[in-house]
Structure 1
């Protein structure tokens, strides 16, 4: 879609990112104070292969996602990647923003020579599952978790 740009997030994007998470119903990020968000973002920026991206539609922030590219000891050291916390402003869903972000993630992974890109999605989010499948993601195995905190 014309008008969509995606770039790595800066500290100045934090309030927009937290707003996108809240609008999309992701986590309780709205409880971060501005100071806490800056401190957390600063810590994340120290991870060499962890990136937060923001999507803009005509210079308005409308989406965000996180990408972790990992070095692996298995698979002869080939890298893999995980997409996390994908959020698109509900008012802008269905306009190609999520597709553009996932294509952006795929390109980042290809440039890093990753052998796979993974993500997980809550079992209840059937519409999201159809979206990811339409982008070429395939169901693979199971995702397991242990809740350590509420």
Structure 2
């Protein structure tokens, strides 16, 4: 079973929401009505791409790739990855590695010089996975509801 990654379409949104909710953290957070997720998908543009992974006709992975421009970091274009998920029954089988390789390739193709991400502090196994891929812990993240 090898995943094929592609840009999401509207019909993928319910499956992506199910992937996002498929763990303790996401299950507690991803509780909005489907209409909210559909509206968010409609607001996404070419700078924020929702990518899905399919295998054997099933939606098995997803991530958001956001391309950012700014003056910091010498004005380099950067990519941010969020919402990284692999279906629970496929974790530990190389899908996450393939997903991140796909994300890095798409980021490079969009002119990004580096990739950054945030991960929930409780996801210790996930952090070890990212470090094995060559990512370093470089920042401390903060967030606040507005």
TM-score, structure 2 normalization = 0.89
Q: Is the 8 A contact 1:5 1:56 kept in 2?
A: yes
Kindly report structure 1 stretches of 4+ aligned residues shifted beyond 4 Å: none
* 2:16 paired with 1:21: no
Report how far residue 36 of structure 1 moved.
2.8
Structure-2 separation of matches of 1:134 and 1:76? 27
Report how far residue 105 of structure 1 moved.
0.8
Q: Which residue of 2 aligns with 1:40?
A: 40
Q: Is the 8 A contact 2:65 2:107 kept in 1?
A: no
Q: Which residue of 1 aligns with 2:7?
A: 8
Deviations 1:15-65 (A, max 9, x none): 1001111113426324223x3322221012xx3310111111222111111
Which consecutive residues of structure 1, in runs of 5 or more, have no partner in the other structure? none
Count of residues in Structure 1 that have an aligned counterpart in Structure 2: 144
Q: Is the 8 A contact 1:80 1:117 kept in 2?
A: yes
Provide the secondary structure at the position in 2 that maps to 1:36. helix
Q: Is the 8 A contact 1:65 1:87 kept in 2?
A: yes
CA RMSD of aligned residues (A): 1.7
Provide the secondary structure at the position in 2 that maps to 1:55. strand
* 2:145 paired with 1:148: yes
Q: Which residue of 2 aligns with 1:114?
A: 112
Provide the secondary structure at the position in 2 that maps to 1:54. strand
Structure-2 separation of matches of 1:32 and 1:98? 28
Aligned to 1:69, which of 50, 56, 67? 67
Q: Which residue of 1 aligns with 2:99?
A: 101
Deviations 1:66-96 (A, max 9, x none): 1101112234532011101111111111111
Provide the secondary structure at the position in 2 that maps to 1:136. coil
Q: Is the 8 A contact 1:71 1:80 kept in 2?
A: yes
Provide the secondary structure at the position in 2 that maps to 1:15. helix
Q: For residues 148 and 76 of structure 1, do their structure 2 counterparts lie closer, same or farther at Cα, with a shift above 3 Å needed?
A: same
